Structure 1
Amino acid sequence: MAVDYVHGYSDHEARRLGDQADTLADLLHEGTAYAPGSRVLEAGCGVGAQTVHLLARSPEIDLTAVDRAADSLARARERVAEAAPGARVRWHQADLFDLPFPDAAFDHVFVCFVLEHVADPAGALRELGRVLRPGGTLTVVEGDHGSALFHPASPYAEAVVAEQVRLQAAAGGDALIGRRLQPLLSGAGFRDVAVRPRTVYADATRPALVNGFVRTTFTGVMAAVRVPALAGGRIRAQDFDRGVADLLRTAEDGGTFHYTFFKAVALNPPRG
């Protein structure tokens, strides 16, 4: 089943998603390109932040984009209309666990930053396998907050990250799901599962990553959970704020930040 999106649906979050996708486009989309005319499903397209990069690399595909949130779909339509006018995209508001498509309707399925927000990722993968043709490919991209390493070290920053992970788990998601992709896909029946790390390393010599990922993306996600974190009573306000400040310190001169995403590609075997 799907769960509440822990990051919310604000304008700020929509901008953050766009900044994140643009900053990481080369890292996450490298190697993903589909032949002209391919029937591609993007499951959980959100505000279209990844959709525009899919279309930039495969402009002649027949793309279907699905999300459960009507507001997100409206934002996605606007983003794609501006970035990729003339692209062939069908938009559907639907539940990931009950997709309105027949069996084997797509040649390829692309899923990015979705399974971390799903209470039953294995069930979601089985439904995606149903609508994917035998021999078609499934591509999944997820992060893993446990892979965050930074300098200067800070127990306050580590406590903030741990609290975000806990809150996401309490909502039914898993901010550590990247490390589980291979067993999840294999357990859902996919074959030839290949998972590869996609590592972000940022320091003063990489200002685009420092600003686009460390400040805007990662620290932004952590800072956004301040209210529920304090309400839970597990962390004091001054300690939370110190942790966020220490994360921002890693984006200054002398600081470094490391994070690993995981990208899986698998084949859908014959069913039945």
Structure 2
Amino acid sequence: MGTDYVHGYTADETRRLTDQARTLADLLHGSTRYPAGSRVLEVGCGVGAQTVQLVTGSPGIDLVSVDISEESLALAKARVAAEAPGARVEWHHGDLLELPFEDRSFDHLFVCFVLEHLPEPQQALAVLRRLARPGGSITVIEGDHGSAFFHPRSDDAQALIDCLTDLQALAGGDALIGRQLQPLLAGAGYDDVRAWPCTVYADETLPHLVDGFTRKTFIAMVESVRERALAAGMRTPAQWEQGIRALERSAEPGGTFHYTFFKAVGLVPGGAGPCG
């Protein structure tokens, strides 16, 4: 399943993903722990920002990390070697719908920031289910751009967020997928699905979140689609700069920013086992 990664494969995007993973490590991954010796499949590992969180949070697991981009895999390998030396990771280049693994060959599945880019996310979840043993678990994490709100309120800034959402839809994805995780997993055949919000709120009393999330994660993500939005005629260069300036005010003293990620865990039918 080829995907059009709307943010692009650039050095700036690699930095953004790194900042996001580090800033949100506890929020998104604090409850994800796998027993040593577990075989875990990470689908869509990208540049390895989440891979590092997995192997450091659950030392001793046997991790298999897959991505459709060979360039991203090379960056992920280098990152894990530098930041988590000694971690047991197998790397595979491939399409998540055509993975060469035996049925029931993993204890747990981990999918983070992948479904938002897929045209048929429920189909992908159903295909992955066969790879996990009965009673094994799946953990899914996704954002939801509809949850972004900020002060000072600005129609110019909101227009840029709408550009991001619309461009992702044109590329075959869904930037509002976070709110859909429970029904998607249930519809794909997983049992005992639980989903919950993971909310980020930043103001001047939380400077690490203002810098790490508002500026370096969210505003940087909006900026990553500038050329696409301009080429599509969604905004003019002047309108884009005006919107970015308005969005940046939420990261200044007196500004606030809110965003919600969603995390869901389900069980593979046929057994009882702990969720990751």
Q: TM-score, normalised by structure 1?
A: 0.98
Corresponding position of 2:36? 36
For the pair 1:7 / 2:7, whether they are aligned, the reply is yes
Partners of 1:37 and 1:224 in 2: CA distance:
39
Deviation at 1:230, TM superposition (A): 1.4
Partners of 1:2 and 1:120 in 2: CA distance:
12
The answer for unaligned runs of 5 or more in structure 1 is none
Deviation at 1:234, TM superposition (A): 2.6
Indicate if the aligned counterparts of 1:2 and 1:119 stay in contact, CA closer than 8 A: no
Matched letter for residue 205 of structure 1: T
Partners of 1:18 and 1:232 in 2: CA distance:
28
Q: Any residues of structure 2 matched to 1:72-111 within 5 Å, and which?
A: 72-111=72-111
Matched letter for residue 12 of structure 1: D
Q: Any residues of structure 2 matched to 1:95-244 within 5 Å, and which?
A: 95-244=95-244
Partners of 2:232 and 2:8 in 1: CA distance:
18
Deviation at 1:120, TM superposition (A): 1.0
Indicate if the aligned counterparts of 1:2 and 1:120 stay in contact, CA closer than 8 A: no
Indicate if the aligned counterparts of 2:190 and 2:269 stay in contact, CA closer than 8 A: yes
Indicate if the aligned counterparts of 2:8 and 2:224 stay in contact, CA closer than 8 A: no
Indicate if the aligned counterparts of 2:108 and 2:132 stay in contact, CA closer than 8 A: yes
**SS, match of residue 259 in structure 1:** strand
Greater Cα offset, 10-19 or 138-147: 10-19
Partners of 1:103 and 1:76 in 2: CA distance:
26
Q: Percent identity?
A: 61
Deviation at 1:15, TM superposition (A): 1.1
Please report the RMSD computed on the Cα atoms of aligned residues, expressed in angstroms. 1.0
1:13-57 Cα shifts (integer Å, max 9, x gaps): 111111110000000001110001000010000000000011111
Partners of 1:237 and 1:249 in 2: CA distance:
19
For the pair 1:19 / 2:22, whether they are aligned, the reply is no
Partners of 1:90 and 1:238 in 2: CA distance:
47
Matched letter for residue 164 of structure 1: L
Indicate if the aligned counterparts of 2:13 and 2:224 stay in contact, CA closer than 8 A: no
Q: TM-score, normalised by structure 2?
A: 0.96
Matched letter for residue 11 of structure 1: A
Matched letter for residue 18 of structure 1: T
Indicate if the aligned counterparts of 1:2 and 1:96 stay in contact, CA closer than 8 A: no
Matched letter for residue 264 of structure 1: A
For the pair 1:264 / 2:268, whether they are aligned, the reply is no
Matched letter for residue 156 of structure 1: D
Deviation at 1:2, TM superposition (A): 3.5
Partners of 2:237 and 2:140 in 1: CA distance:
36
Deviation at 1:86, TM superposition (A): 1.0
Deviation at 1:232, TM superposition (A): 1.5
